[in-house]
């Protein structure tokens, strides 16, 4: 069973969550996980101005995803930073190249799930994940979130990402906050949960 984690990260927060999601996937026997980045659409000049060139080097060795790879996965977890309450343009552009898969129904019945990050606590994590789900539903995917059986999404003793829609982290306005232990646990839970459901569907 193949589980694909496809993401975009500019400063490393989504990359870190993606690694935790992969750890969760690996907890399910027989699951094979692949980490993939979507292609960059910004020039190095723009990335430099955004202070992202150096940060991106840390995960430059993660292979760039092809559209075809989506079709051969049994489950796909998508990671995107919030951009004005929506998925980032790099992810949008990648998904807008999946028309051939849509025409063939290539993703119908596969499990799809989304995780995200934002600078601020209420900066659009839920809207990013929920609006992403629209694309997954157009592809006929079975949308899976982060159930409340991951009970630590209910904690209020510390600031934390994570909602029934998916795991998430709060990066801070300068990207200074790293994913917390609770947020990483949520990402692991999501990876394992998605994979467990996909395993049941593959057996049918
Ligand atoms: C163009 C742009 C728009 C953004 N929009 C939002 C936003 O609506 N809300 C928010 O909290 N953060 C916003 N951010 C901050 C990013 O979500 C944040 O840098 C990102 O989650 C960090 O993840 P990364 O390190 O994986 O790139 C925006 C950043 C950029 C560059």
- pLDDT-derived band at 47, boundaries 50, 70, 90: very high
pLDDT tens-digit map of 18-27:
999 999 999 9
| Ligand 1 atom closest to Cα of residue 16 | 26
- In angstroms, rounded to a whole number, what is the distance separating the alpha carbons of residues 167 and 194? 12
Q: Which residues pair with 168 in a beta bridge?
A: 116
Q: What is the DSSP string of 40-109?
A: P-S-HHHHHHTT-HHHHHTTTTSPBP-HHHHHT-SEEEEEEE-BTTB--HHHHHHHTT-HHHHHHTTTTT
| Ligand 1 atom closest to Cα of residue 82 | 17
Percent of the chain with pLDDT over 90: 99
Find out whether the beta carbon of 172 lies less than 6 Å from any atom of ligand 1: no
Residue 204 has pLDDT above 80, yes or no: no
Mean pLDDT in residue range 77-93:
98
| Ligand 1 atom closest to Cα of residue 86 | 8
Q: What is the DSSP string of 145-191?
A: ---TTSGGGG--SS----BTTB-EEE--TTS-PPPPHHHHHHHHHHH
| Statement: the pTM of the whole predicted model exceeds 0.95 | yes
Residue 183 burial by Cβ neighbours in a 10 Å radius (0-12, 13-18, 19+): buried
Mutate to test the pocket of ligand 1, among 37, 81, 159, 187 (most ligand atoms within 8 A of CB): 81
Find out whether the beta carbon of 177 lies less than 6 Å from any atom of ligand 1: no
């Amino acid at each position: 069973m193949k589980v694909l984690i496809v993401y975009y990260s500019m400063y490393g927060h989504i990359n870190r969550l993606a690694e935790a999601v992969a750890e969760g996937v690996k907890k399910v026997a027989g699951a094979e996980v692949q980490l993939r980045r979507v292609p960059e659409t910004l020039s190095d000049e723009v990335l430099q101005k955004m202070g992202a060139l150096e940060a991106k080097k840390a995960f430059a060795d993660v292979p760039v995803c092809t559209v075809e790879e989506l079709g051969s996965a049994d489950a796909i977890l998508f990671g995107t930073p919030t951009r004005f309450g929506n998925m980032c343009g790099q992810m949008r552009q990648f998904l807008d190249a999946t028309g051939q898969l849509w025409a063939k129904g290539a993703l119908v019945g596969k499990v799809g799930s989304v995780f995200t990050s934002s600078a601020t606590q209420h900066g659009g994590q839920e809207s990013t994940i929920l609006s992403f789900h629209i694309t997954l539903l157009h592809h006929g995917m079975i949308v899976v979130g982060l159930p409340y059986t991951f009970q630590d999404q209910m904690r209020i003793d510390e600031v934390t990402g994570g909602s029934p829609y998916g795991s998430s982290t709060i990066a801070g306005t300068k990207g200074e906050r790293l994913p917390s232990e609770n947020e990483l646990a949520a990402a692991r839970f999501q990876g394992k949960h998605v994979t467990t459901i996909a395993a049941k569907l593959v057996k049918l």
